[in-house]
């Protein structure tokens, strides 16, 4: 046990405290904001950093500059059944700032409309965003 303390001490000293101050989401999809919040929280915690707005912290801001779905395929009945869901997200982590762009396809069975395939596509987008934020936090 004593051997682990010297190994963990640098990680505790170098850990930053972040506070998610703002998520600007101009789209009308409330699930997008929820999924982005969870992805960023998970990335911050997994890198050994802390989430707290009560002490000295680095602010985190997320700005969705583009969020759209583009139809890319039609059924024989001329109904849309395949979309590309795209996002451009500006991320500010303290003094660092970067832009994340991602696109995922999703389909609606038999050209119907529904919320579950779209939510799964948003989850796929936020998984990509999570891995990109994770890489930037580890640098």
Side-chain-facing half-sphere of 103: CA atoms under 13 Å: 10
21 vs 65 pLDDT, higher one: 65
pLDDT of residue 123: 95
CA–CA separation, 86 and 61 (whole Å): 20
What's this model's pTM, rounded to 2 decimal places? 0.81
Domains of the chain with CATH codes:
15-138 (3.30.160.150)
What is the tens place of the pLDDT at every residue in 21-52? 889 999 888 899 999 999 999 999 999 999 99
78 vs 73 pLDDT, higher one: 73
Q: Crossing angle for the helix pair 116-138 and 30-46, nearest 10 degrees?
A: 30
Burial 108-120 (b: 16+ CB within 10 A, else e): beebeeeeebbbe
pLDDT of residue 118: 87
pLDDT of residue 3: 53
What is the tens place of the pLDDT at every residue in 88-112? 999 998 888 999 999 999 887 765 5
What mean pLDDT is reported for the chain?
A: 85
């Amino acid at each position: 046990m004593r051997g682990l303390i010297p190994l963990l001490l640098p990680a505790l000293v170098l850990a930053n405290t972040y506070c998610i101050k703002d998520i600007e989401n101009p789209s009308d999809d409330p699930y997008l904001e929820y999924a982005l919040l969870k992805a960023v929280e998970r990335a911050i915690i997994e890198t050994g950093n802390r989430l707290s707005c009560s002490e000295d912290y680095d602010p985190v801001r997320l700005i969705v500059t583009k969020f759209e779905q583009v139809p890319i395929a039609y059924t024989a009945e001329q109904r849309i059944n395949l979309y590309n869901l795209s996002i451009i997200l500006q991320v500010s982590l303290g003094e660092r700032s970067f832009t994340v762009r991602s696109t995922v396809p999703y389909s609606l069975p038999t050209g119907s409309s529904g919320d579950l395939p779209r939510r799964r596509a948003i989850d796929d987008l936020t998984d990509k965003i999570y891995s990109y934020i994770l890489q930037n936090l580890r640098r």
